[in-house]
Structures are given as structure tokens and as C-alpha cells.
Amino acid sequence: MASNSVTGFRLAGVHCGLKQEGVKDIALLVSDRPCTAAGLFTTNCVKAAPVLYNRAILAAPGATIRAVIANTGSANACTGSQGLANVRQTAVEVADAVGCEAGEVLALSTGVIGTQLPMESITSGIRALAGRLSTGGWADAANAIMTTDTRPKLASVRLPDGYTITGIAKGAGMIAPNMATMLAIIATDADVPRPLLASALKHAADSSFNRIVVDGDMSTNDTVFALANGASGVVVQDGAAFEAALAGVCAQLAQAIVRDGEGATKFVTLHVTGAPDEATARIIARQIATSPLVKTAFYGGDPNWGRVLCAAGYSGVEIDPAQMALWLLDANGAPVLQLVKGGCPTDYDEPAAIALMQAPEWGVRLDLGSGKAKTWLWTCDLSHEYVTINGHYRT
């Protein structure tokens, strides 16, 4: 999990008592200089206290950011006025520890809904973090924000222009294709104007974090931040190149989330083509990707194509079943077997289909035969382990 340090950014991840002894559970990122910043947040109507706090911070004209603190153990959601007060106090503690203003601190939380932040542990964690900040602290920070994740998520690219983009993310469950689907912090040492940073993040998310499904549930805390401090001395002149690089980092993080989905054993790229418009294609793709029957068939390596067509049929949009066609694809997206043509099964090789679906990575393409629009999602299977993890999440 290699990463490039980002000029002017230091990070740390430590244990402060939010998880079992020895497990990192709180992380801090600090920039040596003020950053332009952009954020995208959950569209869940039940928003955690840090989401409300961060939105207000970033909505201020001319807002600049110096630090991001992230804790596990408690989502600080459904915690009322005390939850908001705890976020503000956390920002004050970070500001005092690193030498900035409280209004320059963003806060992230992940964990159980309905529990207040243990402020004594948070405060001691902040003090420990401040003493361990380093330019090479990306991996420690990525480890410290994990919950049910089995491995940290980190992606990085160094551009020929002379600047770097590096990001970390956490996410394994409660993953749905609505912004933002997880927690992520992405930093660059390029000088990026705030409007360009916000626009680039939105477009990057649309081609990454908004195209992943593990279970279809959306968290109360979903957030992704992009921070730019300009410490490389490179002023971004080519907005398209920056956006493409940012999208590449986001795509790596998004794929890593799906590959590490709770209990997941298969990584599946789902294509919906031949739609009258992209909105229709997206609705159908999400319905298929969140169907328990489809996902359990993925897990069992069962080419039960009827479940895919059925899910498309109850998506709420008009389709003509007689025009539908379905293929299994290899890991590179190339068609291998056509299972359905004209809404009916083909004389396909069942053992070959089963063998393909036993692989850890493959794809599905459903063509609606009613237009030229298309879309795609990254999703996974639904295994026994998912139920085990979530059946005892709190207990």
C-alpha cells in the first residue's frame, strides 16, 4: 500500500481507547498552511453531528482548513445538541494542539449511531496525535479510521507537473451509490482554486464513490473531503488534467471499498446499456446491485439470470422484457457468455457460466434494447459473513 507524501501535510494515527487495546482508533491530518477545501456529504436526512458541523464550516465564504480529525467507535449521530457541542469541543482541542483556529478544523466520526463521543479519550488522543505527526503518516491514519474494514484504503499519484494527490478512505458496509458512501480525506499540494476543487471533486465522485454498492444502505456520516495547500508551488492551470488525476485516486479508493465489502468474496462490475437515458440506466443498475437475490446468486456462483431481469423489472421504470439481453463478462469487461437474448435464455454453457462466476472478479451486462444510454456500477456479493458481521455489530 504505497503512498506519496504530500508537501506540507503531516498525519498520525494512534490508539486512545475507542477500540480494544493496541488498535489505532483516531487519526489526524494537519497542513502546515491554510488549504482550500471542498466536501461532499451524505444525502441521508438523518445526518450526524460532524456532517452538520462540517457543512457549516465549508459554507463560510473564504473558508480555509488546516486540520481534519477522525475518530472511530462512535458515529456521533442522533446525539442532539450534546453531539454538536462535542464536535465543536473536539475542534477546539485540535486547534490548541496544532496551532490553528477552531474554524479551520474539520471532524469525521464513524461507528455506532446514538452514542456520545467519549471526550476524555478523544482529548487524550488528540494530544498523542499532535506529538506523532509526520509526512509519512498516511498508512497509520488509514489504519486508524477503519471500522469493519479488514484492510486500510490508500491511493496516491504524483503528477509530471510536480504535484501529488494522496487519499485515504474507510468503508466496508452501509455502502450505496449516493454521495458520499464512506469517509475519505484526499489531499494535494497543488494550488487549486476553491471553485475548481469543488467541481473536480463532484465530477470525480460521480465516476467513483457514486458508483459503488455493497449493501445499498447509506450512512448518516458519509463524507469525502478534498484539501489543497499549494505547498508544491504548482498552480493548476489544466483543470481537466487535475480532475482526471483526482478521479483516478477516487476510483482506486472506491474500488478498494467494494473489494473489502463486509463478507464480500466477489468483485462484480455491472453494466446497464441500451437505456433510453442515463437516469433510467442508473435506477435499474442500482436495483440489480442491491437485490439480495441477485447478490446471493453472485456469492454462490449461480448464473440465475432470471433474478437480474426480475430486479430490472421492479425498478419502477418502463422496460420491454422482449428486448432484453444479458451477458457474463470477464474481469476485463469482455463478453464471455450470452445468457439471455430477446428476453429468453440462450443455449449457453451452464458449467462455463458457473466456472466464470466462481472467479473473484467478473462482470455482468444487461442491455435493455431501448436506446443508447448506459451506466455502470461496482458491486459485490452477499455472503453468510455479512450477516455475521452485522447481526452482532453492537453486541
Confidence of residue 333 (pLDDT cuts 50, 70, 90): very high
What's the rounded Cα separation, in Å, for the pair 157 and 331? 24
**Same-domain check for residues 190 and 307:** no
In-domain check, residue 334: yes
Average of pLDDT values for 362-388? 93
3 within some domain: no
Point out the domain boundary residue: 238, 259, 280. Answer: 259
Alpha-carbon distances, residue 17 vs 55, 74, 81, 98 (angstroms): 28, 12, 24, 21
pLDDT category, 177, cuts 50, 70, 90?
low
Q: What is the pLDDT of residues 14-52, one digit of tens each?
A: 999 999 888 999 999 999 999 999 999 998 899 999 999
Domain count, the chain: 2
Is it the case that residue 245 has pLDDT exceeding 70?
yes
At 179-226, the pLDDT tens digits run: 545 899 999 999 999 999 999 999 999 999 999 988 877 788 899 999
Q: Residue 2 domain-assigned?
A: no
Residue 94 has φ and ψ, to the nearest 5°, of -65, -45
Supply the CATH number for residue 44's domain.
3.60.70.12
Same domain, 100 and 224: yes
Same domain, yes or no, for 106 and 239? yes
**Contacts for 239 with CB less than 8 Å, ≥ 6 apart:** 196, 199, 200
pLDDT mean over 243-256: 97
Domain-terminating residue out of 259, 280, 310: 259
- Do 276 and 246 lie in one domain? The reply is no
pTM, rounded to two decimals: 0.94
What is the average pLDDT across 166-178? 80
Choose the final residue of a domain: 218, 236, 259: 259
Whole-number pLDDT of residue 167:
98
Residue type (1 letter), 169: A
User: Residues 291, 203: one domain?
Assistant: no
SS (H, E, C) 154-184: EEEEECCCCCEEEEEEECCCCCCCCCCCCEE
Is the same domain home to 240 and 272?
no
Listed residue (38, 18, 14, 13) closest to 202, CA to CA: 38
pLDDT at 395: 58
Do 243 and 284 lie in a common domain?
no
Higher local confidence (pLDDT), 260 or 164: 164
Rounded CA-CA distance 148/116 in Å is 20
The residues carrying an active-site annotation are 181
Per-residue pLDDT, 174? 65
Q: Where are the alpha helices (DSSP H) in the chain?
A: 49-59, 80-98, 119-130, 138-144, 194-206, 239-259, 278-290, 292-300, 305-313, 350-357, 384-391
Q: Over the Cα atoms of the chain, what is R_g? A: 22
Query: Is 4 domain-assigned?
Result: no
**32 and 87 inside one domain:** yes
Per cent of the chain over pLDDT 90 is 86
Domain hosting residue 71, numbered range? 9-259
- Across 78-89, average pLDDT: 98
Q: Who's near 286: CB < 8 A, 6+ residues apart?
A: 176, 177, 213, 216, 315, 377
Look at residue 259 and give its three-state secondary structure.
Answer: helix
